[in-house]
A and B are shown apart, each in its own frame.
Chain A
């Protein structure tokens, strides 16, 4: 056990856990931020994607000591009122079925949109292939990312 200082969604936290504990379980079990999902535990499904210093990482394989002192953003911190362009687009397209993978999908898409403000279908396929949606909402995810790009452009 050791104390690790974390900055998540702009808030400071201090947790006393084994430094090898994955960020995912600290978020879920210790900080009650359960929007980040467990799907596979081996970085193969993308349900647990969060932003670490602005990069999309799989929190299920990101040890807590790697996140110490760095900026972490989870789905709960993507926007205060659920009005990030991606969240607006997701709502408008009515993307989710079961909804379990969607926070990971959105967090992956957020990095894509920052890097490529107007992604093509191919850009989306490349960036989003690490995120599994077992319900098969891929077409709506693509549509929502394009829509979010439009919303984002208008805001600028």
Chain B
């Protein structure tokens, strides 16, 4: 057992008690828990006792666990309560799970992003569970007049072996909730875990399969109107005027007006990112009626001059102009030839390149991507003179709250953001512009409204994965040994460079440079931001290097990692070379790497990002000249796995996502206009392109858990590219690879 200081704080307990009286936060919904899954529903207790922000226990022993974080398919609504249940020591079958609202005073971090939900909740949730358990033990000890140290627990039961006394948690819930919070509590040994590390069914699965209203877009309340916005058709344009003479007379239409979502006085944060701040708005009774009026609205646009705004207290700008992919490509090519901003230099790379017997140089590119979460952007808002309530999909309520408060002129505590289950996110919903828009529309319309984006609205409104380019150079001596390594990476509008990642630390002479080109096309985090491109470029280049040096691609990577482990260059290497090598060794074993099958082409790739290590081997076949990934073997080191089957599901999803985006994903621009606006032209991977088998293996260790949502995604791109090389004899440098294949 580990003794930990209880730093979750008295604050959360006091607040909990306060709130139980105030009654603001507890939206009890039934049945949302594991019990909905086919068994008889649990009996709802008449009274709940709040042990802390995360746990309440009924007199009958039924336990409600709150999932603090936004759920968008990464399964936190199941995995975070599993951590609580483990330390509380209860029967998972006696658990109801509820989604918490956004409540920063009660919960430490209600943010879904960076693959950090489990990692950052691990310690607080274990402590919360163990604390509640300890309070139950102390309550029983007082009542039974026995030493607390003699009381044990077993799946929701308190036991005193000496006297034979036993009681369910429910019997002591009231007394325990009244007790002072213990200063420190003991956590379980990892080897004693029963729930963490097992596989628990998604607590929402039955509701999903029965079509229950779970998502923001499903939300409805009395008097609610539907709102849609019309945004500029091109980046670089802004609203000038509109003619609503026809639209406003159409059936079901209540009002048509314009809004400024982010006014000039607002100090923005990065999650406010949006290119468009002035919209035409149509409000009406039903979605279809509003959509028809929206089409009938005639809006005039004009060129937008350079836009200056404040972000984090500093001036920021969007340049003017209408941008095109063709011009982007030419500009990026130009910058790859110019000196960049040096982020890291080891040894004397310039000299090493001068003295090289041979230099290999390759440039890799990737296009803008749209997130394309299946549930389009939407949000319910009801704003009145003194308060605001919002309900909808958001990954980052804590960031949007401050902006909402500024924009609405309401104190933060008068704004309630409720967290809907999200129909996907992939980073897109970290950006909260739709919450601001919905709130401003509701305020203007003086009604509860649900803002609905069409698919076309969403795909053309921005927040894309940036377009990137990376040039790699390797210098060889006369004996074909690696002398120096140089990466220069940039993009529009940001550089994807991670200067201290592998192979930094493994090569004596190393140089990393970055560059960027400003743009008015709004970008944002996209599943494993920057890593999703850098992994593709770097791991393709390493594959080519291995081939040039006549080495097996896994052996070559392991040699470099061995150097980084035993005799690292520099001190800022941000990866653990032993764990990195561990996943490569595991994937080599599990994929039977050395075995070959006629007609099956294998590619390998490995990457470290978001605190986890993943290696993948792809088996690809060519059918009538079309590549098809048949099988992937993945090895993952993310420390302790919370919910094994769910982790396997998510890793598989990330890999399918990687195959799809590597082969098909792209959003080109012409004169500021996104050239794709729906799934008719934007190709996403579909069933017939999905592999037959994904075989996921986890490195077994007792390290604290790290990210799982993002790390399996980046390695897939290069594994596909390297398999394509085996299949075609050609290297693939420019995503999406299907275009490059067609152009041959």
CA of A1 to CA of B292 in the docked complex: distance in angstroms? 14
Contact A100 B210 (CB under 8 A): no
Minimum distance in angstroms from A60 CB to a CB of chain B: 10
The digit string for A83-127, where 1 denotes a CB below 8 A from any CB of B, is: 100010011001111111111001000000000000001001110
Q: Which residues of A contact B286 (CB under 8 A)?
A: 17, 25, 29-30
Name the contact of A37 in the complex, choosing from B287, B423, B654 (C-beta under 8 A). B423
Name the contact of A136 in the complex, choosing from B37, B425, B653, B688 (C-beta under 8 A). B653
B691 at the interface (CB under 8 A from A): yes
Contact A97 B691 (CB under 8 A): no
Contact A40 B455 (CB under 8 A): yes
CA of A141 to CA of B204 in the docked complex: distance in angstroms? 17
B652 at the interface (CB under 8 A from A): yes
Q: Which residues of B contact A30 (CB under 8 A)?
A: 286
B30 at the interface (CB under 8 A from A): no
CA of A94 to CA of B679 in the docked complex: distance in angstroms? 26
B372 at the interface (CB under 8 A from A): yes
The digit string for B201-214, where 1 denotes a CB below 8 A from any CB of A, is: 11011101111111
Name the contact of B209 in the complex, choosing from A1, A38, A44, A87 (C-beta under 8 A). A87
CA of A121 to CA of B687 in the docked complex: distance in angstroms? 10
Contact A134 B213 (CB under 8 A): no
Q: Which residues of B contact A32 (CB under 8 A)?
A: 220
Contact B213 A121 (CB under 8 A): no
Contact A87 B210 (CB under 8 A): yes
CA of A132 to CA of B373 in the docked complex: distance in angstroms? 10
B424 at the interface (CB under 8 A from A): yes
Contact A91 B687 (CB under 8 A): no
Contact A91 B37 (CB under 8 A): yes
CA of A95 to CA of B215 in the docked complex: distance in angstroms? 18
Binds A, one of B69-77, B439-447, B502-510, B597-605: B69-77
Nearest residue, chain B, Cβ from A84: B209
CA of A32 to CA of B219 in the docked complex: distance in angstroms? 10
Residues A121 and B74 in contact in the complex (CB < 8 Å), given A34-B211, A96-B202:
no
Residues A125 and B687 in contact in the complex (CB < 8 Å), given A94-B201, A96-B205, A138-B656:
yes
B33-56 contacts to A, CB under 8 A, are 37-38
CA of A101 to CA of B214 in the docked complex: distance in angstroms? 12
Residues A75 and B210 in contact in the complex (CB < 8 Å), given A21-B288, A137-B653:
yes
Name the contact of B691 in the complex, choosing from A36, A129, A139 (C-beta under 8 A). A139
B678 at the interface (CB under 8 A from A): yes
Nearest residue, chain A, Cβ from B654: A136
Contact B208 A96 (CB under 8 A): yes
The digit string for B138-153, where 1 denotes a CB below 8 A from any CB of A, is: 0000000000000000
Most chain B CB atoms below 10 A, which of A25, A38, A98, A132: A98
CA of A97 to CA of B655 in the docked complex: distance in angstroms? 14
Name the contact of B202 in the complex, choosing from A44, A94, A142 (C-beta under 8 A). A94
Q: Which residues of B contact A40 (CB under 8 A)?
A: 455, 678-680
Name the contact of A97 in the complex, choosing from B75, B212, B376, B693 (C-beta under 8 A). B75
CA of A14 to CA of B527 in the docked complex: distance in angstroms? 45
Q: Which residues of B contact A141 (CB under 8 A)?
A: 687
B251 at the interface (CB under 8 A from A): yes
CA of A135 to CA of B350 in the docked complex: distance in angstroms? 44
Residues A135 and B646 in contact in the complex (CB < 8 Å), given A75-B210, A97-B73, A124-B687:
no
A82 at the interface (CB under 8 A from B): yes
Residues A37 and B687 in contact in the complex (CB < 8 Å), given A91-B209, A96-B208, A134-B424:
no
A28 at the interface (CB under 8 A from B): yes
The digit string for A1-44, where 1 denotes a CB below 8 A from any CB of B, is: 10000000000000001100110010011101111111111101
Residues A74 and B694 in contact in the complex (CB < 8 Å), given A21-B288, A131-B687, A136-B655:
no
B653-711 contacts to A, CB under 8 A, are 653-657, 660, 678-680, 684-688, 690-694
Q: Number of residue pairs across A and B with beta carbons under 8 Å?
A: 188
| Count of chain A residues near B, Cβ 8 A | 61
Name the contact of B688 in the complex, choosing from A90, A97, A98, A129 (C-beta under 8 A). A129
Contact B210 A39 (CB under 8 A): no
Minimum distance in angstroms from A15 CB to a CB of chain B: 11
Minimum distance in angstroms from B556 CB to a CB of chain A: 30
CA of A142 to CA of B687 in the docked complex: distance in angstroms? 9
Residues A29 and B202 in contact in the complex (CB < 8 Å), given A75-B211, A96-B208:
no
B649 at the interface (CB under 8 A from A): yes
B82 at the interface (CB under 8 A from A): no
Minimum distance in angstroms from B71 CB to a CB of chain A: 8
Minimum distance in angstroms from B485 CB to a CB of chain A: 33
B171 at the interface (CB under 8 A from A): no
Q: Which residues of B contact A41 (CB under 8 A)?
A: 454-456, 678
Q: Which residues of A contact B202 (CB under 8 A)?
A: 94, 96
The digit string for B404-429, where 1 denotes a CB below 8 A from any CB of A, is: 00000000000000000111111000
Nearest residue, chain B, Cβ from A130: B686
A149 at the interface (CB under 8 A from B): no
Residues A100 and B38 in contact in the complex (CB < 8 Å), given A74-B211, A134-B373:
no
B interface, size bucket: 35 or more
Contact A18 B251 (CB under 8 A): yes
CA of A97 to CA of B657 in the docked complex: distance in angstroms? 13
B374 at the interface (CB under 8 A from A): yes
Residues A99 and B37 in contact in the complex (CB < 8 Å), given A40-B679, A42-B678, A94-B645:
no
CA of A32 to CA of B423 in the docked complex: distance in angstroms? 18
A128 at the interface (CB under 8 A from B): yes
Minimum distance in angstroms from B279 CB to a CB of chain A: 20
B535 at the interface (CB under 8 A from A): no
Q: Which residues of A contact B589 (CB under 8 A)?
A: none
The digit string for B451-492, where 1 denotes a CB below 8 A from any CB of A, is: 000111000000000000000000000000000000000000
Q: Which residues of B contact A71 (CB under 8 A)?
A: none
Nearest residue, chain A, Cβ from B378: A38
Nearest residue, chain B, Cβ from A79: B210
Q: Which residues of B contact A21 (CB under 8 A)?
A: 288
Q: Which residues of B contact A75 (CB under 8 A)?
A: 209-211
Name the contact of B687 in the complex, choosing from A1, A45, A138 (C-beta under 8 A). A138
Nearest residue, chain A, Cβ from B71: A98
The digit string for B178-222, where 1 denotes a CB below 8 A from any CB of A, is: 000000000000000000000001101110111111110110100
Contact A33 B211 (CB under 8 A): yes
Minimum distance in angstroms from A120 CB to a CB of chain B: 12
B375 at the interface (CB under 8 A from A): yes
Q: Which residues of B contact A135 (CB under 8 A)?
A: 73, 424, 653, 657
Residues A132 and B688 in contact in the complex (CB < 8 Å), given A100-B215, A101-B374:
no
The digit string for B710-742, where 1 denotes a CB below 8 A from any CB of A, is: 000000000000000000000000000000000
Nearest residue, chain A, Cβ from B682: A44
Q: Which residues of A contact B423 (CB under 8 A)?
A: 37, 98-101
Contact A136 B656 (CB under 8 A): yes
Contact A102 B687 (CB under 8 A): no
B577 at the interface (CB under 8 A from A): no
A55 at the interface (CB under 8 A from B): no
Q: Which residues of B contact A98 (CB under 8 A)?
A: 72-73, 373-375, 421-425
For the A-B complex with A34-B211, A40-B679, A75-B211 known, give 18 more contacts whose Cβ atoms are closer than 8 Å.
A22-B288, A25-B286, A34-B213, A39-B374, A76-B211, A91-B209, A96-B204, A99-B208, A101-B423, A102-B208, A129-B688, A131-B686, A135-B73, A136-B655, A136-B685, A138-B685, A138-B687, A140-B652
Q: What are 29 inter-chain pairs, A to B, with CB distance below 8 A?
A: A22-B288, A25-B287, A29-B286, A32-B220, A35-B211, A39-B375, A39-B376, A40-B455, A40-B679, A41-B455, A44-B679, A44-B680, A45-B374, A94-B646, A94-B649, A98-B421, A98-B422, A98-B425, A99-B73, A99-B205, A99-B208, A99-B423, A102-B208, A103-B209, A134-B372, A134-B657, A135-B653, A136-B660, A139-B656
Counting from the closest, the 4 A-B pairs by CB-CB distance are A35-B211, A136-B656, A100-B423, A98-B73
